[in-house]
Structure 1
Amino acid sequence: MSGDARKTAEGLTHLTGFGNEHSSEAVPGALPEGRNAPQRAPLGLYAEQLSGTAFTEPRAHNRRSWLYRIRPSAAHPAFTRADNGRIRTAPFTESVPDPNRLRWNPLPAPAPGTDFLAGLWTLGGNGDATQRTGMAVHLYHADASMDRVFSDADGELLIVPERGGLLLRTEFGLLHVEPGHVALIPRGVRFRVELLDASARGYVCENYGAPFQLPDLGPIGANGLANARDFRAPVAAYEDVESPVEVVNKFCGNLWTATYDHSPLDVVAWHGNHVPYAYDLRRFNVLGSISYDHPDPSIFTVLTSPSDTPGLAGVDFVVFAPRWLVGEDTFRPPYFHRNVMSEYMGLIEGAYDAKAEGFVPGGGSLHNMMSAHGPDRETFDRASAAELRPQKIDDGLAFMFETRWPVTATAQAAEAEHLQQDYDGVWRGLQRHFRPLP
C-alpha cells in the first residue's frame, strides 16, 4: 500500500480510554439521540446490538456495542463448510501435551497469493472453544491482502505483527498497526486484513475465555504498566458495496463461508465498549526493581483474561519492552525457574536478553508448566561476570502468551521442519561451580 494510504489509515484512529463507552459516526447525524433503537434509526439505517458478553453480566464486565448500519447482519444467505486450512481449535486432541521445551524458527514463506486467513498456522493451545475456555497460539505469514471478510465466533484475536504493517478494515472502522503495535479484534467482529508492505508475518493469540482487560495494579497504585488512554479505537468508516463479497465465519473450530450480495463492513455509526483497538507496545510504562532482585514477570502484563480464580489468568499478554536494569548484586537476565503457568514466547525485533542465539524474530518457544527454563549457558556466564552498571535494554522487543493450562502442540507444529531439534542444547555445558566451605 502507498505512503498516502498509510497516512489515511493513521488519520482514521484516535486515542481512547480502554474499556469505556465510546462512539463514532462517519456521517453527521447517524448516531441517534437518547435512544439505542428508535422506531426509525437516523438516515434510514438499521440499529443492531452486538453483545460480547451475556446480557446480565455485571456492568463493569459487560461488553456490547450498538451499530447503525446500511443492512442488518441478519440479511445473509446460508453458510456452508469451508476448508480449515492450517487452523486448528481447542480441544486439541490430535496429540498429547509435551513436557519438553520446544522452540521454532519463523514460519516459511507462504505460497504466492496467500492472504492473512490462509496464512494462519496453529501452533497449539488448550481448553475448549465450545465451552469458552482456554486459548490458541497461531502464527501468520501472508503476501496478499484479503478480498474477503472474516469473523471469529470462537474468541477474540490479539494480533501481534512482527514483520510488515497491516490495515484492519473492521465493522467499526480502520486500524493501522505496524510491528511494535498490537491489535485486538473482539469476538464476532467482522474484518478484512490488507497488507501495507509486500508481505506480513506475526503472531495471534485466540482467546476463548473472558475478554482481555487491563490488569489490576494492586500495591503499584493508580499508575503504571499500560495506560488506558493509549489504546486506540477506530473512527467510523463504512463500505457501501452492492456486489458479491465472501464472508468466512469461524464457528466451533470450523470455517464456514457464504457469499453476501453486499459488504458487511457497512456500519455508519456506533457506540459501545465491544470495540476493536490497537496499542503501541513502546508506550508500556515498565516498572522494576531499583534495589536488588527481580519482580516477577507478571509486572510486564499488558492485558489479562481473568478466570474464576482471582489472580489466575486464562491467558496473560506480557511484553518485555525497553527498560533500565539497575539492580545491585543481582543476576539481571531472567532467572532460572519452573512455573505452574505455561509460556509461549515470541520475538518482535532484536534479541532477547536471556538467549544468546537461536531465538529470532518471528520464531517462538514453548515452556509448558513446570518445564525448567531460563538463560542459556552463554548468557549465564556473561551475566555472572558482568560489571553491574545501570544498563539500558533497548535492542529487543519480546512478548509472552502465558496461560493457566498446558499448551498442546498441534501435529503440524510437532512435526514442522522449522521446529528446532536440539533446543535442550542451549543449557548444555552449565557447569558445576559448587565449592563446599572448608
Structure 2
Amino acid sequence: MTHSEGLAARQAHVALPEGTYEREMGKEGFFGPAAHLYHANPPTGWIDWEGPLKPRAFDTSKFADGVDCPWKAKPLLTNAHCKYRHLLMSQPMDHLVRNGDGDELIFVHDGEGSLFCDFGHITYSEGDYILLPRGTMWRLEPATPSKLLLIEATNDSYRLPEKGLVGPHAIFDPGVLQIPKLDDAYKAQQKKPGQWKVVIKRREQLSTVTYPHNPLDVVGWKGDLTVVKLNWRDIRPLMSHRYHLPPSAHTTFLASRFVVCTFVPRPIESDPEALKVPFFHNNDDYDEVIFYHKGSFFSRDNIHPGMISLHPCGFPHGPHPKAFAAGAKAAKKETDEVAVMIDTRDALDVASAAESVEFKGYVATWNPEGFRQAAE
C-alpha cells in the first residue's frame, strides 16, 4: 500500500512540487519497495565530509604500464563475487589463460585486435563486450594498444536479463551477438610449432600447464555455451519521453550478486513535467560503479573518458548542480554518453591501484562553493 504525507508529487519523477528536490529511497536496486521524499534543498548539497564512506572517482587514463598477461591486470574494486580489473596490453600474448574462478566479461575501452579461444577466432574493437565462459582458454593479439576492463563474476555465470513485456528482441536482439569462427586465422595459429603454456587462475592462485602443441586445436564444436561479442552500438535502449527510467532498465548482463548496465545515447525526455536527469536516490542495497567510456557526461562534472566513479550504498547521490540546471531548462535534446555501470549487492573494496589514480576532489564537486579539495 502506498502512503503519502505533506507536499508530494502524484507520480514519481513527474511534475515535482515547485521548489522541491525528489529523492528516491529504494530497496533491491530499483525493483523493491520505494519511497519518494521531497526536499527543500538538494540531497547532495553537503559542505564537508569526513570518514571512509564517500563518493570516490578514479582515473584509469593515468595507467601507462602494459602487461603481457590478463592475470597481471590491475585490480581496482573487488568483493567475494566480483573482480573489477584494468588491463593495458600492446603485445600479442605468447601463452593462453584460463579462468577457473568464474566467467570473465571484457569491455574494450580502446584498441583493436584479435582474441583466440577454444571456440575460434574473433576480432575486437572499441566498444565491444566479450563474454568468456568460465574455463575458456584464450589469448589476445592486440593490433593497437588495448585498454580493457575485466569484470569477473566469481564462482558465477553471466546471463541475459528477462525483458518482460517488451519481448526478447528489445534492448538488443540476441541475433546481434557474434561468436568466434574457425576461420583461416584460427587454423593458421594452430600450426605454430613448439610448446604452449596455459596459465590457470583459481582462487587467485596461478598454475601453469605446458603442452607440446597448441591446445587451441579445435576442428569443430556445437552447443549453447560459447564466447559471445556485443558492441554498445547494437544496444537500443528502452525510452520513455514522459518518464525518466531507472538505471535497471539498461541492464545488459546479470550475475547472481551484481548487474552490468550500459548507458548509450538516447533522446532526453520531452514532456515538460518529466524529470530529465538521473534522480537523486540512495540505492541502499547496492554499491554503484560507473566507467565513463565515451561522450559528454552531462550528469557529472569533472569527469572524462576512462574515469570510474564509485558510490557505495549508504548515502544519497545524484546529478551535479550544473546538470540539474541544464536538465531543468531542457537545453539538450539527447544524451551522447556511453558508460558501463555495475551495481554490486556486496560492498566493494578499493584496491591500491585504484587509490593511486584517485581524484580526491570528487566529493567536493557537488558543491564547489561550499569547500574545495585539490584534485590529484
Shift of 1:231: 0.6
Residue 122 of structure 1, aligned match among 65, 72, 75: 75
Q: Give the equivalent residue in structure 2 for 1:376.
A: 320
Residue 196 of structure 1, aligned match among 143, 146, 152: 143
Instruction: Answer whether contact 1:175 1:234 (CA < 8 A) is retained.
Output: yes
Residue 240 of structure 2, aligned match among 271, 285, 289: 289
Code of the aligned partner of 2:361: D
The answer to whether structure 1 residue 274 and structure 2 residue 225 are counterparts is: yes
**1:422 alignment partner, SS class:** helix
Shift of 1:151: 0.7
CA RMSD of aligned residues (A): 2.1
CA shift digits 1:188-237 (9 cap, x unpaired): 1000111121x111211101143211111123334411211111111223
Q: Give the equivalent residue in structure 1 for 2:106.
A: 159
Shift of 1:258: 3.0
**1:184 alignment partner, SS class:** strand
Code of the aligned partner of 2:160: L
CA shift digits 1:94-130 (9 cap, x unpaired): xxx9532110012534446x32526511112212xxx
Code of the aligned partner of 1:301: T
- Return the alpha-carbon distance in structure 2 between the equivalents of residues 399 and 192 of structure 1: 23
Size of the aligned set, in residue pairs, is: 313
Residue 337 of structure 1, aligned match among 268, 274, 281: 281
Shift of 1:283: 1.0
**1:392 alignment partner, SS class:** coil
Shift of 1:145: 1.7
**1:367/1:194 CA distance change after superposition, 3 Å:** same
Shift of 1:429: 4.7
CA shift digits 1:4-50 (9 cap, x unpaired): xxxxxxxxxxxxxxxxxxxxxxxxxxxxxxxxxxxxxxxxxxxxxxx
Once the two structures are superposed, the pairs formed by residues 352-431 of structure 1 within 5 Å of their partners are 352-357=297-302, 359-387=303-331, 391-393=333-335, 395-414=336-355, 416=356, 418-429=357-368
- Return the alpha-carbon distance in structure 1 between the equivalents of residues 111 and 329 of structure 2: 38
Code of the aligned partner of 1:259: T
CA shift digits 1:288-329 (9 cap, x unpaired): 2122x3121111011112x3xxxxxx1211111111113422
The answer to whether structure 1 residue 226 and structure 2 residue 226 are counterparts is: no
- Return the alpha-carbon distance in structure 1 between the equivalents of residues 231 and 225 of structure 2: 20
**1:324 alignment partner, SS class:** coil
Shift of 1:240: 3.7
- Return the alpha-carbon distance in structure 1 between the equivalents of residues 207 and 74 of structure 2: 17
Task: Please identify runs of 4+ aligned residues in structure 1 that moved more than 6 A.
Answer: none
- Return the alpha-carbon distance in structure 2 between the equivalents of residues 109 and 125 of structure 1: 18
Code of the aligned partner of 1:342: D
Shift of 1:245: 1.6
Instruction: Answer whether contact 1:346 1:363 (CA < 8 A) is retained.
Output: yes
**1:240/1:350 CA distance change after superposition, 3 Å:** same
With structure 2 as the length reference, what TM-score do the two structures score? 0.78
- Return the alpha-carbon distance in structure 1 between the equivalents of residues 106 and 315 of structure 2: 26
Code of the aligned partner of 1:172: F
Once the two structures are superposed, the pairs formed by residues 26-425 of structure 1 within 5 Å of their partners are 99-111=53-65, 114-117=67-70, 120-127=73-80, 134-197=81-144, 199-236=145-182, 237-238=186-187, 239-291=190-242, 293-305=243-255, 307=256, 314-328=257-271, 329-339=273-283, 340-357=285-302, 359-387=303-331, 391-393=333-335, 395-414=336-355, 416=356, 418-425=357-364
**1:326 alignment partner, SS class:** coil
**1:235/1:143 CA distance change after superposition, 3 Å:** closer
- Return the alpha-carbon distance in structure 2 between the equivalents of residues 349 and 299 of structure 1: 20
Shift of 1:338: 1.0
- Return the alpha-carbon distance in structure 2 between the equivalents of residues 98 and 233 of structure 1: 43
**1:382/1:290 CA distance change after superposition, 3 Å:** closer
Code of the aligned partner of 1:188: G
